[in-house]
Amino acid sequence: MKQFSIYGINPVSEALRSERYRIKEVWVAKGRDLARLQGIMDMAASKGVPIKQVERSQLDSLTANAPHQGIVGFIDQCNYADLDAILRPDEGIPFLLVLDGIEDPRNLGALIRTADACGVWGVIIPKDRSAGITPAVAKSSAGAVFHLPVVRVANIPTTLRQIKERGIWVVGAAAEAHTDLFHQDLTSPLAVVIGGEGKGLRPLIKRECDFLVSIPMKSKVNSLNASVAGSIILYEVIRQREHNPHP
């Protein structure tokens, strides 16, 4: 299986802590970075992960000058989870995030990071017209991708129908929706669907949603960055569930 490098203090730390991934080797830059990387190096050593000190220029070349913070880890190519693996009926009220064509790795990583913070059970992305799990996504997620299952499916509409068959409501984010998310009950078993950058939800996806919600806007700009919009909706779900727990 092809391996790839992950870079940055948080991604490497979280990959070392993860029960779903195994780092095969860690490279650290020689010099002044070693002191602040000592904790990660100790963690790697305790897990039997080889550590290699290299010149910073080697890390720059390996990561195409990405902000690696003096550390790179090598893991196997990401293994995506199965849909059944993220549907855990015995663990409370279902909470899923479905991303319809997020192409910017930074947005995908940010959404995975927020989803993990909000207790989402898993993130679903399409195989086509979407960013996959890459080193840049791992960096943007601050390593959350190594803890939160990501499911990659061939067909989002089909997957939404399968989700609804499990008794989970599907809510889509759409700027033109007449109901804003603060006036919609989000305490039920839920899958939140966020559309791609600039395009929003595709018509076929909207038809599969049980209802649509919008985010109230006070300015003339009528849309938000996909990761920001998704974060607002996920945290509103948490707020409602904490104040109005579903029976």
What CATH number is given to the structural domain containing 184? 3.40.1280.10
Query: Does one domain contain both 87 and 180?
Result: yes
With tokens 């929003």, the residue in question is 200
| 238 and 163 belong to one structural domain | yes
Predicted local distance difference test score (pLDDT) of residue 247? 53
Burial class (CB in 10 A: 0-12, 13-18, 19+), 187: middle
Measured CA to CA, the distance from residue 181 to residue 107 in angstroms comes to 21
- According to DSSP H, which parts of 27-93 are helical? 38-46, 56-62, 83-86
Residues in contact with 73: Cβ distance below 8 Å, sequence separation at least 6, in sequence order: 5, 6, 7, 11, 12, 15, 16, 23, 25, 26, 27, 49
SS3 91: helix
Q: How far is Cα 160 from Cα 209, in angstroms, rounded to an integer? A: 8
Contact 212, 173 (CB under 8 A): yes
Q: State the average pLDDT over residues 57-84.
A: 89
In this structure, which amino acid lies at residue 61?
Answer: S
- Tell me the C-alpha distance between 246 and 81, whole Å: 28
Distance CA 81, CA 148 (A): 10
For residues 88 and 72, membership in a common domain is answered with no
pLDDT tens, position by position, 167-205: 999 999 988 888 999 999 999 999 999 998 777 889 999
Q: Can you give the pTM of this predicted structure? A: 0.90
Going by pLDDT thresholds of 50, 70 and 90, the confidence category of residue 246 is low
Q: Are residues 239 and 212 in the same domain?
A: yes
Longest dimension (CA), the chain: 58
The structural domain count of the chain equals 2
Instruction: Read off the pLDDT of each residue in 13-24 and give the average, rounded to a whole number.
Output: 89
Q: Are 193 and 77 contacting, i.e. CB atoms less than 8 angstroms apart?
A: no
Confidence of residue 2 (pLDDT cuts 50, 70, 90): low
- 24: confidence class by pLDDT, cuts 50, 70, 90: very high
Q: Are 189 and 91 in contact (CB under 8 A)?
A: no
Domain final residue, candidates 58, 76, 94: 76
Q: Does the structure show a pLDDT above 80 at 223?
A: no
46: domain range? 3-76
Over residues 133-174, the pLDDT tens digits come to 888 999 999 999 999 999 999 999 999 999 999 999 999 998
Taking only the tens place, the pLDDT of each residue in 81-128 is 999 989 876 778 999 999 998 999 999 999 999 999 999 999 999 998
